[in-house]
Amino acid sequence: MTWNPAHLPDQTGRTIVVTGATAGIGYFAAEQLAAAGADVVLASRSAAKLRVAENAIRGQVPHASLRSVVLELGSLQSVDVAAAELAALPRLDAILLNGGAMSLSGRATTDDGLPILLGTHVVANIRLLAGILPALADTATAYDSISRVVHTSTGYVAQYPTSVDDLRRTSRIGIVAYTQAKTATEVFAFELDRRLRAAGSPIASLVVKPGVGVDAKTPQRPGIRDATTPYQRNPYTPRAQGKDSAAWSAVRAAVDPAAQSGQYYAPASGIKGLPVAIAPTPRTAAPAGDLAERVWRQLEELAGVELPMPR
């Protein structure tokens, strides 16, 4: 189908959670979903930044239906509190797992002693899903729909093969640790798709990558992207897109009526452009041997949960 990010399907009545919603891609995904009529739940670690993001969205979308939940992905205790709050919502149709620390320090850890990138980009999401998968299934059943979990990855996964055999062995080189975390994200997301299908669950698991979004091409928003916010130089700027456009893949995965569990959305050119369904990397979508099972078990152990497969 032809997809127009400026004219999304009406989302009135649907509740969609966006993690990492106070900056960059997460913020613009939330703004676009609010403009389409969704009840958007902004999730981030700072209550003050959540208020800024709410105000910025309402400046663009005066009729926006918004609420906020404090979610510190670096603390499993905070994740539990946020999960309980989300599970108690009247309905829960989708979640965009966009948040995660961007510290490339090889020594940084979460409150629970996990490597910061693995902990915030992967393990915290497993813990969060353990708390909200039943609520996603309940909404799908009540409204005869399919709820969605949208996982965020990166082009580095396809470009730079990284081992996830032992997630406890994390590189101290930041970009390698980040690629390992996103590789684990993809393996988990596709295994989640298989398990949900096997259980007959009304929940879809999809993967997206944003391409390259840069500050220089991102629209101004008060407190989000303006003279008061840090400006990040990027050598890809001439070939890149703004972070508003980088949000398109996640938004399409969340709201396209034709989207299917197990699909992977990315910009048409790989770096920028309209979001399209692409072939996933076989190494993560259909890993050899029992790798997917081993990654699943490791992540459950690190998160301290067993994920339910609600019907």
Looking at residue 40, which CATH number applies to its domain? 3.40.50.720
- Tell me, what's the pLDDT at 216? 93
Mean pLDDT of the chain: 96
Q: Report if residue 5 sits inside a domain.
A: no
- Tell me, what's the pLDDT at 230? 84
Q: What is the Cα–Cα distance from 178 to 103, expressed in whole angstroms?
A: 9
Q: Report if residue 145 sits inside a domain.
A: yes
For 192-238, the pLDDT digits (tens) are 999 999 999 999 999 999 999 999 999 999 999 998 888 888 888 88
- Tell me, what's the pLDDT at 228? 86
Structure tokens at 224: 């989000």
Cβ atoms within 10 Å of 228's Cβ, excluding its own: 9
Q: What is the Cα–Cα distance from 248 to 29, expressed in whole angstroms?
A: 7
- CB < 8 Å & 24+ apart, contacts of 215-220: 215/243, 217/241, 217/242, 217/245, 218/24, 218/28, 218/242, 218/243, 218/244, 219/244
Q: Report if residue 148 sits inside a domain.
A: yes
- Tell me, what's the pLDDT at 1? 61
Q: What angle do CA 278, 284, 290 make, to 5 degrees?
A: 145
- Tell me, what's the pLDDT at 119? 97
Q: Which residues pair with 149 in a beta bridge?
A: 95, 205
Q: Report if residue 244 sits inside a domain.
A: yes
pTM, whole model, 2 decimals?
A: 0.96
3-state secondary structure 7-54: CCCCCCCCEEEEECCCCHHHHHHHHHHHHCCCEEEEEECCHHHHHHHH
Q: How many domains does the chain have?
A: 1
By residue range, what is the domain housing residue 208? Answer: 15-303
Q: Report if residue 42 sits inside a domain.
A: yes
Q: Report if residue 142 sits inside a domain.
A: yes
Structure tokens at 133: 């998968």
Q: Report if residue 1 sits inside a domain.
A: no
Q: Report if residue 261 sits inside a domain.
A: yes
- DSSP, collapsed to helix, strand or coil, labels residue 219 as coil
Alpha-carbon Rg of the chain, whole angstroms? 18
Percent of the chain scored above 70 by pLDDT?
100
Q: What is the Cα–Cα distance from 251 to 7, expressed in whole angstroms?
A: 12
